[in-house]
Amino acid sequence: MGKKVLLTGFEPFGGDKLNPALEAIKQLDGRNIEGIRIVTQQVPTVFYESIRTVTEAIDRHQPDVVICVGQAGGRAQITPERVAINIDDARIPDNKQQQPVDVPIEADGPAAYWSTLPIKMIVSRLREAGIPSAVSNSAGTFVCNHLFYGVLHYLEKNKKKVRAGFIHIPYIPEQTTENGDPSMALDTIVKALEIVAVVSATTEKDIAETGGALH
C-alpha cells in the first residue's frame, strides 16, 4: 500500500488577497504521484486554531508524512525549515486580530523541535530539477513557526510515527507587481511540492551536505 502525504496551506493574511501555499496545495489535492497519495487541508492563519485544524486532519487522514506550507515574502527559493521554536512574537496580527508577543506556544514544551523531513535531500532534488532551494534555519515567529512547532509537539506527545516539517515558498508573480519582491511561478511551486512529497515519503535517511548559514 502506498504512502499518504498530508499537505497543508494557509489562507491569505496581512491584507493579501491570495496565499500561494493554498493555491499550490489546491492543485495537488487527491493526486497520486509515483504511488503516493496526496491529501490536503486549508489552514486558518490564526494562532492555535491552525494547530487544531491540522491535528484534526492528521487524525482524520492518518498520513505517513505531514508537510505544512507557508508563504515567505521576500525569499526567492523553496526553503525547507530546519527548526521550530517555542515562541510566538507576532509583528502583525493574525486573521483574528491576535498579536501575541514573547509568549511560549507550549508552556511546558521544549525550546525547539527539529524537522523530521529529509531537508537536505529535498534541497538536492529540487536543485537537480532546476528549482532554486536552500535550507532555512528560521521559520520566523508568526503562525508558520507556530503551526510547525504545534504539529511536531502533537506528534511527539501522542507518539505518532509520522514525519513532519514545514516548507516556505516565495510569492507568486501577481503578488509582486508593485513591490518587485522575488517571486516564483505557481506551476514551479506545485512541481516543487510534488518533489517534496515524494522525497519525504520515500527517503529513509537524509544526506549529509552543507546547508548551514553564516548568519
pLDDT digits (tens, 9 = 90+) for 111-141: 999 999 999 999 999 999 999 999 999 999 9
* Catalytic residue selected from 81, 146, 153, 194: 81
- Contact present, 29 and 6 (Cβ < 8 Å): no
Query: pLDDT over 90 for what percent of the chain?
Result: 94
Range of the domain at 162: 4-202
For position 214, what pLDDT does the model report?
82
For position 172, what pLDDT does the model report?
97
For position 1, what pLDDT does the model report?
66
Query: pLDDT over 70 for what percent of the chain?
Result: 100
* Catalytic residue selected from 68, 146, 153, 168: 168
For position 3, what pLDDT does the model report?
96
Question: pLDDT, tens digit, for every residue of 159-186?
Answer: 999 999 999 999 999 999 988 899 999 9
Average pLDDT for residues 36-63, to the nearest whole number?
98
Question: Measured in Å, how far apart are the chain's first and last C-alpha atoms?
Answer: 43
Residue 57 in any domain: the answer is yes
Residue 209 in any domain: the answer is no
Entry pTM:
0.97
Residue 195 in any domain: the answer is yes
Q: Give DSSP secondary structure letters for 166-192.
A: EEEEPBPGGG-TTT---B--HHHHHHH
Catalytic residue flag (residue 81): yes
Overall domain count for the chain: 1
Name the one residue in this structure whose C-alpha cell is 527539529: 114
* Catalytic residue selected from 68, 144, 146, 153: 144
Residue 26 in any domain: the answer is yes
Q: Please give the grid coordinates belonging to residue 204.
A: 529513509
Catalytic residue flag (residue 168): yes
Q: Please give the grid coordinates belonging to residue 176.
A: 509582486
Contacts 24+ apart (CB under 8 A), 96-102: 96/46, 96/47, 96/49, 98/46, 98/47, 100/47
Average pLDDT in the chain: 97
Q: Which amino acid is at 9?
A: G
Helices (H), 40-142: 49-61, 119-128
Residue 214 in any domain: the answer is no
Residue 136 in any domain: the answer is yes
Residue 208 in any domain: the answer is no
For position 215, what pLDDT does the model report?
82
Query: Tell me, what DSSP letter sits at residue 70?
Result: E
Catalytic residue flag (residue 61): no
Rounded to whole angstroms, how far apart are CA atoms 171 and 73? Answer: 6
CATH value at residue 112: 3.40.630.20
Average pLDDT for residues 186-213, to the nearest whole number?
96
Strands 112-114 and 83-85: what pairing?
antiparallel
Residue 135 in any domain: the answer is yes
